[in-house]
Amino acid sequence: MILTTHKSRLILIFMAVAFFLAGCSSLDKANALLREGKNDEALAMAIGYLSDGDPQVRIQAIKLVARIGGEKAGEALMPLLNDENADAKIEAIKAIGIVGYQPAAKQLIEMMIPAKGLLFETIAGTISRLGTPAIDIIVSRMDLAATQAEKDQFRKFLVAIGPQVAEAVAKSMKGKSAFENEEKFQILIALKNPKTSYLLVQQIDDVEVGHLVEEGLVKLGSMSEKPVMEELQNRISDTQNKAGKEALIKVLGDLKAKMAIPLLEQLSKDPSDLVRAAADHALTKIRGF
């Protein structure tokens, strides 16, 4: 009885190995077709194994489909986003990013809501690869969120996705009040990326959010020095936007940016009393006297 049970187990193991090797053998054929430049045939063969009963075969098929790429590859990968095997699901999410299949964005965002740990991080990485169109959906969802808890959730998503969201977030802030934009400023600051400083500098003249821009640039620290200096250099002969010029000078003073001393000395001779006073005050802060 015990011997029979042992034999049965061995048979099942051998059968599982045989099925796996058969799947791998066919995928080897698909890889060979790909090397020969027969992409359509290779893709068709690989797609056939996306529904294989063995998750390891599915994973290998997912990776091959991702290598081949294209619209058909993206479409074929979509059902795998619901794969019952966690590893296969993770590989499918990564593959969607590699292929750049934009129609998957909405489903990925829905999956991100309850996701935790590796699943959450993998989805964030894929959304980052899908880029602005996918990120715009999250920014829009955050704007339309009915509760603070929902807003916080989408803010968490955007921060997790990383610096790639900065442009989409900054774009969505235009024409809105400081109150409406406060949470988005928090996202931009949390990203701690030099690109953020460049995006913020462009909004320094906005009367609604100018003070938030100034505060944000200071919070970003040394990453703001170069963007602020470049913007001020472009404004040397500008006599119209004095308030924006003054705000940028104050940022350099608050940052104690020593590299800005020559520029501030030049601005201390500006035709505007407001700008000259700001430059003198910033120089005092930097030098300490």
CA–CA separation, 194 and 14 (whole Å): 56
* Contact yes or no for 228/235 (Cβ under 8 A): no
Q: Residue 14's Cα: distance from chain center in Å?
A: 45
Report the pLDDT value the prediction gives residue 275, as an integer from 0 to 100: 95
Query: pLDDT value at position 18?
Result: 42
**pLDDT score recorded for residue 240:** 85
Cα 118 to Cα 95: distance, rounded to the nearest angstrom: 15
Structural contact between residues 138 and 147, judged by C-beta atoms closer than 8 angstroms: no
Q: How many CB atoms lie under 10 A from the CB of residue 209?
A: 25
Residue 50: the pLDDT is: 95
**pLDDT number for residue 9:** 58
Provide the pLDDT for residue 23: 44
Residue count (the chain): 289
State how far the Cα of 254 lies from the Cα of 243, in Å rounded to an integer: 16
Its sign, for the CA torsion 179, 181, 185, 186, is positive
- pLDDT at position 3: 47
Residue for token digits 């045939």?
41
| 8 Å CB contact between 136 and 125 | no
- List, run by run, the mean pLDDT of 10-residue segments along the chain (289 residues): 52 45 64 85 93 94 96 97 97 98 97 95 96 95 93 94 91 86 89 88 88 92 95 91 93 96 95 95 94
The pLDDT of residue 25 is: 57
Give residue 11's pLDDT. Answer: 46
